[in-house]
Amino acid sequence: MSRAGYRFLPHRGAVIGAALAVVLVGFALLAPVLTSRDPLASDVERGLSELGAPLPPSHEALLGTDALGRDVWARVAYGGRTSLAIAALATAIAAVIGVTIGLLAGYAGGAVDSALMRLVDLVMAFPFLLLAILLAALFREADLASSIAPAVVTLGAVGWTAMARVVRGKTRALVHSEMVVAARAIGAGPLRIAVRHVLPNAASAVVVIATLGFAQNLLAEAVLSYLGLGAAPPTPSWGRMLYDGRAYYRTAPHLVIVPGLAIGSAVAAFHLVGEGLRAAFDRRGDRA
């Protein structure tokens, strides 16, 4: 096991977060195994009370039913797939954009570095969620909100700034190092230097920022879905379930509690993992 691994394990919060993250991801991936119910199928006759209200948790419906008689257990399982997929794809897009801009700014320096860092400052000047809501609303107005693509592109387009700044700093620190100078001396081009020498040294920082960004994207996706700007219905997602259940928080509190716990648990789990990785990859611990 590496030194980083040995430093990660003593952090109980990080280990608990990792275990919880594995459980939540497994819960979403194994949705077809864990339930035979269709998350989109309404059962008005058996899924609602005589007064047409959602049913509470019972033997028939483990987590109750929603306002349309749909099984909440099935919807939270399949909704996890949607929420986690949006967060993962958005994080991947943000990582690609951030790493590319960070490498270019750090390696080129001068006017290119200055221009790209002003772009980063401009994006960071807007609150993350406010900018995400604005872009998602523009997608909705353009009639492009028929899938998860708008939410993925929106979150990926606004979540790359932290990655860019970190990678740029790592690149600036390495660009004049003996390792890079030697690579230039044997004829290595900028792309080869970036891939073979700079990126491996920045990989730990990229992993930490991406993990924390994943947690942020999970929360942002829930906010977008709660505002009606996430995955289009009837596609289930945790944020969408929270939005749909808001009108029944008194008569059927399980419609708010269940997706709320799922969102809170997932965000906390990946945030704890990110903080644990940050401590594990902190090389100052090697010199202590």
Q: What is the average pLDDT value for the chain, to the nearest integer? A: 85
In a domain, 212, yes or no: yes
71-77 mean pLDDT: 93
What's the CATH number where 158 sits?
A: 1.10.3720.10
Nearest to residue 281, comparing CAs of 38, 2, 50?
Answer: 2
DSSP 8-state symbol, 48:
B
253 SS3 class: coil
Amino acid at 5: G
Nearest to residue 75, comparing CAs of 34, 32, 39, 38?
Answer: 39
In a domain, 48, yes or no: no
Is pLDDT of 42 > 90?
Answer: no
Q: How many domains does the chain have?
A: 1
In a domain, 40, yes or no: no
In a domain, 217, yes or no: yes
73-99 mean pLDDT: 94
Please state, in angstroms and rounded to a whole number, the distance separating the CA atoms of residues 55 and 247.
Answer: 15
Alpha-carbon torsion (216, 83, 271, 99), positive or negative: negative
In a domain, 264, yes or no: yes
What is the reported pTM? 0.86
In a domain, 41, yes or no: no
| Contact (Cβ atoms closer than 8 angstroms) between residue 68 and residue 127 | no
- The better pLDDT of the pair 91, 128 is held by 91
Top-confidence range, 28-32, 154-158, 183-187: 28-32
- Burial (0-12, 13-18, 19+ Cβ within 10 Å), 234: middle
Domain that holds residue 250: 3-35+62-287
Nearest to residue 151, comparing CAs of 176, 287, 159?
Answer: 159
Please state, in angstroms and rounded to a whole number, the distance separating the CA atoms of residues 105 and 103.
Answer: 6
pLDDT tens-place string over residues 96-116: 999 999 999 988 888 999 999
| Band of residue 139 on the pLDDT scale cut at 50, 70, 90 | confident
19-29 mean pLDDT: 94
